[in-house]
Structure 1
Amino acid sequence: MKGLRSRSKRLNLRFRLRCFMTRRLLERLLINAELKQMRWVFLAPSLLLFTALVAIPGGRALIYSVQNWDGLSAPTWAGLDNFRALFADDLFLDALKHNVILMLGAGSLTLVLALTFAALVHRGIRGAGLFRVAFFFPNIIAAVAVAILWQLMYSITGFGVINVVLAWMEDTLAVGITWSADIAMKGFLYLQPESAHLDSLRTFVITLANSDSRQFDLFPFPFTASENLIYALIPMLTWISVGFYMILFLAAMQSIPEEFYEAADLEGANSRQQFWHITLPLIREVFIVGIVFFIISSAKFFDAVWVIESEFPNNDSHVMATVLYQKVFTEYNVGYAAAVAVVLFGLVFIATLVTLNFSRKESLEY
């Protein structure tokens, strides 16, 4: 009897356990089904906004790019005429060149500086918290305010801090060169030229020593002139962007387990070796994301050019976004502007794919 009772208890326990597991499984299935339904509820607002503000306007731009339309009259079919006119237009080609200059120049500086500052903060330099706030601060300033600020700093009047500093450095350098040439001239006066090269060198030094100390006269320099503006925008775009990418890279570095660095210390690796062989490989994917972000943001660069040029850029200062704006709201050539938008999207898409393709490599897990 005792054996039957114990067997009955075991069977009853197994039955209850199976019922419990079945109930838990059903509960999980119901929860998963509810979650699947709920995720669409949460995604719906974003999908609606994306469809209304991105997908539909993008599709309309593609349609307008093959039409002639001034925004008021009925559109007419143009085929690929807008694209042919685009690539035959010096204005568009110059704007495309300027976008490439900004992307490569400011992009290289921004990513290198952001990576450097993130590594320094990650290794715990003094005042790391202050650095985070200071470098990120330009991101919260309005783009128009940043453009006006840099326009004042680049000014050739008394407000132009950059020109004042560079002019002082120029004067100091000129005085130093003149002083050095004067010392060299005194030495050459006691030398007899033994060759034509030595004679030419002595003549050059004597001429330099007798010249005015303000020999170069480069500053104040018109940084915001149309022919110089694109290159002057590189430091400004770098100043705006470096804080965001520093925070991005710093977050990736802080996710790396500290045990890796401790093991490297035991192996005798210095800070530079740890950075190249531990930090960089483990944040590689985030670094690629940073490159893609910068490609996209540099393609949309607009505010500074429009503000500094007082809404009238020319071939020396136009970028793709200002060409698009001018064609729509000044010349009312919607078809041409839509073709610019389509080409801009295509170039950014191709550049992003190329970047991701070249970066394909076995990902590191830790």
Structure 2
Amino acid sequence: MQNTNKWLPYLYIAPCLIFLALFVYYPIVENFFYSFYGFSAFSVEKTFVGFENFLNLFKDDVFYIALKNNLWYAVISIIFQVFGGLILAAILEDKLIQLVSGIFRTVFFLPVVISMTVIALLFTFVYNPDIGILNGLLNILGLENLTRAWLGESETAIFAVIAVSQWQSIGYIMMLFIVAIQNIPQELYEAAEIDGAGKIRKFFSITVPQVKEMFFVTTLITLTGAFTVFNEPYILTGGGPGNSSEVLGTLLYHSAFGKDQMGYASAVATVILMITLIVSLVQLKVFKTGKDV
């Protein structure tokens, strides 16, 4: 009976482990294996090419354009989603706006639950160079020289796409920080008020240190999302014009289903995996956090 109880917890988690093994870890290993072969979707046999797919990838100019765009995604998302989400959460948890904070939480969180397809259609109207809201607003403000085809110009396409991601995702990060802030003991804020600390001082001296674990989680989520993003650039621009808004996710898709280079696409997927793993490990090492998560 004692031996049965010993193995009982493992039986409960066995279905989860089986699903993880079948739908997560096995595809990762299989993809890594495929990255050393050259084949198409309809190939009967696969040709072993060694590191040729990786060498061709690192010689591909489009790969570096995509990597640069993913880096832009990461930097801008950290600034607006993580830092912006923390500031929004701190403001909404302030006593002065407690009565209406629920309304603002709903307003900021609502884009998170909207389908990306719907959001993309919405922003195609926002960015439309002729009848779009953005250019219309700039015209009203007398800034006609700033109007342009936001999704149709190589200089602005990727940043227009990134802006959509910030608008959609900041509410989710904000809610995570709100949960963390609500768990901070109020005695700390009361003691700070007695010492004469203002709102800004309390934010940097109490709120920021107390939410460092959630800061780690949100940063990890944001960085991982930045290097695996696909929906927004694919739906809004398809990686264009040219390759100006290409990201690693769309490069993988175009290689697999556009050029039918499955081995090359597997190499791209392997590089994406390695980048996300390295980013996670560097963050754990440098920030020395996440130990309590």
TM-score (normalizing by structure 1): 0.74
* Match 2:145 to one of 171, 193, 218: 218
Contact 1:94 1:316 (8 Å CA) reproduced: yes
The alignment covers a number of residue pairs equal to 288
- Equivalents in 2 of 1:352, 1:314: separation in Å? 31
What aligned pairs does 1:63-74 form with structure 2 within 5 A after superposition?
A: 63-73=33-43, 74=45
Q: Unaligned 5+ residue runs, structure 2? A: none
Question: What SS does structure 2 have at the residue aligned with 1:218?
Answer: helix
Deviations 1:88-146 (A, max 9, x none): 00111111111111111132111121011100111131410011111111111111111
* Match 2:259 to one of 328, 331, 334: 331
Question: What SS does structure 2 have at the residue aligned with 1:60?
Answer: helix
* Match 1:50 to one of 20, 36, 44: 20
| 1:306 CA drift (Å) | 1.6
* Match 2:217 to one of 285, 289, 306: 289
Contact 1:107 1:238 (8 Å CA) reproduced: no
| 1:33 CA drift (Å) | 6.7
* Match 1:144 to one of 90, 112, 117: 117
**Residue 191 (structure 1) aligns with:** none
* Match 1:239 to one of 154, 167, 182: 167
Assess, with a 3 A threshold, how the Cα gap between structure 1 residues 311 and 289 changes in structure 2: closer, same or farther.
closer
Contact 2:85 2:171 (8 Å CA) reproduced: yes
| 1:329 CA drift (Å) | 1.0
- Equivalents in 2 of 1:265, 1:241: separation in Å? 33
**Residue 174 (structure 1) aligns with:** none
Which range is displaced more, 60-69 or 107-116?
Answer: 107-116
- Equivalents in 2 of 1:218, 1:106: separation in Å? 27
Assess, with a 3 A threshold, how the Cα gap between structure 1 residues 337 and 362 changes in structure 2: closer, same or farther.
closer
| 1:280 CA drift (Å) | 0.6
Deviations 1:198-234 (A, max 9, x none): xxxxxxxxxxxxxxxxxxx424311111502101122
* Match 1:134 to one of 94, 104, 107: 107
RMSD: 2.1
**Residue 86 (structure 1) aligns with:** 57
Contact 1:64 1:338 (8 Å CA) reproduced: yes
Q: Unaligned 5+ residue runs, structure 1? A: 1-28, 172-216
Contact 1:327 1:337 (8 Å CA) reproduced: yes
Which letter maps to 2:151? T
Deviations 1:289-314 (A, max 9, x none): 11100011112211122222258663
Does residue 353 (structure 1) correspond to residue 281 (structure 2)? The answer is yes
Deviations 1:34-61 (A, max 9, x none): 3x54432332222122111111111111
- Equivalents in 2 of 1:97, 1:283: separation in Å? 30
| 1:155 CA drift (Å) | 0.6
- Equivalents in 1 of 2:175, 2:152: separation in Å? 34
- Equivalents in 2 of 1:81, 1:337: separation in Å? 12
Which letter maps to 2:78? G
Which letter maps to 2:170? V
